[in-house]
Amino acid sequence: EHFDIVEMANEVLDQFENKVEKKGLYIGFDQEYNHPIFVYADSEKIYRVLTNLVSNANKYTDEGDIILGFTVSSGGHVTVSVKDTGMGIPPEDLGRVFERFFRVEKSRSKGRKGGTGLGLAIVKHIMEAHNSKVSVISTFGKGSTFSFKLPLSKEEDLDSTDDDEFESED
Ligand code: ATP
Ligand code: MG
């Protein structure tokens, strides 16, 4: 369905703010977003994607910030990114973090960072169901940026009473 991804990201931010600030980290946007960005996607699933990515950013960052951003492209899409200044991912593991149960050795040995290694596999699965994908750029020891792309919905579609007829062109 149609929803405002900026509003959703604000909800996710509110949900994590206390936890993140308790660690001495900052969470915010890369710029001010005063206007909604309407997308066409499964809102519950995308909420899950955002919370899994922000939860990881928080879990694997000891200092610095977690920055959310949106880039609207001319092709009618928006790229949503979650950037952190955390421990990063070793290059040899970058291709494996979306596998079920895979965890970077370092995150496994440090008991304080528990987890099952499913969060990113779920994110990947959800993006595939949206005919999209999630990608990661990371520098080991410096930080990571996860991003995914969603189709924009035209404002006209928002008033449509017959949303079920909507089909994407590609
Ligand atoms: P959970 O199932 O609770 O999410 P998890 O966080 O270990 O457990 P994933 O979210 O799938 O599992 O992430 C897989 C692995 O990728 C993590 O164990 C961690 O090693 C690495 N990773 C994920 N996100 C980040 C990040 N933002 N910075 C550094 N490493 C990360
Ligand atoms: Mg996780």
d(CA 99, CA 138) in angstroms, rounded, equals: 17
Pocket of ligand 1 (CB under 6 A): 56-57, 59-60, 84, 86-89, 97, 102-104, 107, 115-121, 144
Gap from CA of 119 to ligand 1 centroid (Å): 7
pLDDT by position in tens, the chain (length 170):
999 999 999 999 999 999 999 999 999 999 999 999 999 999 999 999 999 999 999 999 999 999 999 999 989 999 999 999 999 999 999 999 999 999 998 666 655 578 899 999 999 999 999 999 999 999 999 999 999 999 999 765 665 555 555 555 66
Q: Among residues 9, 70, 68, 1, which one has the least CA distance to residue 40?
A: 1
The answer to whether the beta carbons of residues 91 and 73 sit under 8 Å apart is no
Gap from CA of 59 to ligand 2 centroid (Å): 8
The answer to whether the beta carbons of residues 93 and 107 sit under 8 Å apart is no
| Protein residue with least CA distance to atom 20, ligand 1 | 104
Pair type for strands 26-29 and 65-73: parallel
